[in-house]
Amino acid sequence: MSASGRAGVSRIGVLVSLLAVIGLGAAIAAPVLLRTLREARQLDKQTDERLRAQSAVKAVESEFEAAKSAVDTNPADASARLRLASLYGQGRKYSEALVQLLAAARLEPTKAEPHLALAQIYQSVKYYDMVLQSQREAQRLEPDNPRAIQDLAYTYVAMDWPLAALDLLAPAVKRFPTDAGLRVVLAQARYQKGAYAEALKEILEVQRLAPENHGLDGPLIEVYLMLSKPREAAAAADTFLQRDPENVIYLIGGAKALRRLGETAEAEQLLRRAVEKAPEHREARYELAIVLQERTKTDEAAQLLEPLVVENVTYKRSALVLAGLYNLQGKHREAKALRKVFDSATKLRSTSLRWSARVTNQPRDAVAHRELGKIYYQQRLYSRSVVELKEALRLDPQEISARAELGKALASMNRGDEVELAQKGTSITGRTQ
């Protein structure tokens, strides 16, 4: 028996003895004793958890000391530096991790691994431009490395550059036809491009190659819906919910399919479960509001939509639906005011969407990247602004306007030490951008 267990037994024994000594009747003593037993067990459980946590901390500290000692003993060992950097990263000591990874990259100048690890650290601090730069360098060094291809393609998808991702992935999948990871990103890129039938094909192939991979289960439901196959979507959602009945993505996807099939009562039940599970989930609240509107539960639908509109007046059709509900409730002044705010916000957003679409469809258009970068800067999305402006300069180094905007965006991210390098066209690693 553990020390905490013996202590628990001892506490219980003392309590029982006290009850006997003071002569309490069984009717009173029994519930008190049961409660005391439960509390004692809870204390034991908390003590065991605390001891396990302390043991885990000691194990990490021991592992860190061993890794640090390995680097001190042999500073030229790149693998030792990679291990130490990984531990620094886990401890959120990103500056120390970067020092080790940059050293590892110098020690192994032809290897992709240090650059892939650098990308992970940059991702943690939201330096997305440096994520992209590190992954590109990794893929340049090892063009046939599936992980390097996958990581870079995934970043392209995250940046909403599906054509760039497809250019990278199409030949890679031919070389590595059984690599499920590559096909996962390929499916995402095809979906983002709007090639839903091709995305469906890739998702089903991933399920065949890696049936334990459930990352594309949600997208599979969405693809079926985009292909106007609500029955298939509902069947898929039902299958997934049998395995994971509280998964919010499955609940929402299943509800959307049922709504398409006209089964709004069943859709409402799924969406209420989703909102109960994740009260802050925006899509769950929106979809529930839409179903409630269709079921003429006007007041409750409006209550769900109001905070959504406050958060983002252009989120899907939330403002328009809410304005319609206000009219049904006789709140015509509120409806008119909301439409005015929505129209104004939509006008501002349309410029952003236009340039974003141009970047998506013409990924080598430097002007499009520059203009989108400027818009991101105006929206205070500085990390994304830097990505687009650097991409504009990579495609056209003579983009003077982009270079000036880049300096402003870097300064806004407190990366002032990089501004001068950006003006010269070099990065913090010394490579030309």
What DSSP string runs through 181-234? HHHHHHHHHHHHHT-HHHHHHHHHHHHHH-TT--TTHHHHHHHHHHTT-HHHHH
Same domain, 288 and 323: no
CATH of the domain at 222: 1.25.40.10
Q: Is residue 353 part of a domain?
A: no
Domain boundary at 11, 42, 68, which?
68
Residues 241 and 284 in one domain: yes
pLDDT digits (tens, 9 = 90+) for 86-108: 999 999 999 999 999 999 999 99
Does 88 reside within a domain?
no
Q: For residue 148, which of 159, 136, 158 has the smallest C-alpha distance? A: 136
Residues 290 and 220 in one domain: yes
Instruction: Judge if 335 and 274 occupy the same domain.
Output: no
Q: Which of 68, 100, 115 is the last residue of a domain?
A: 68
Residue 55 or 235, more confident: 235
pLDDT tier at 35 (50, 70, 90 boundaries)? low
Statement: residue 427 has pLDDT above 90: no
* Structural domain includes residue 148: no
Same structural domain, 303 and 277: no
The pLDDT tens digits for 364-387 are 999 999 999 999 999 899 999 999
Count of domains observed in the chain: 4
Domain annotation covers residue 35: yes
Same domain as 282, residue 224: yes
Domain assignment present for residue 149? The answer is no
Closest to 167 (Cα-Cα) out of 397, 367, 362, 358 = 362
Q: Is residue 340 part of a domain?
A: yes
The reply to whether 341 and 374 lie within a common domain is no
180 is a domain residue: no
134 domain residue, yes or no: no
- The domain containing residue 370 runs over which residues? 364-433
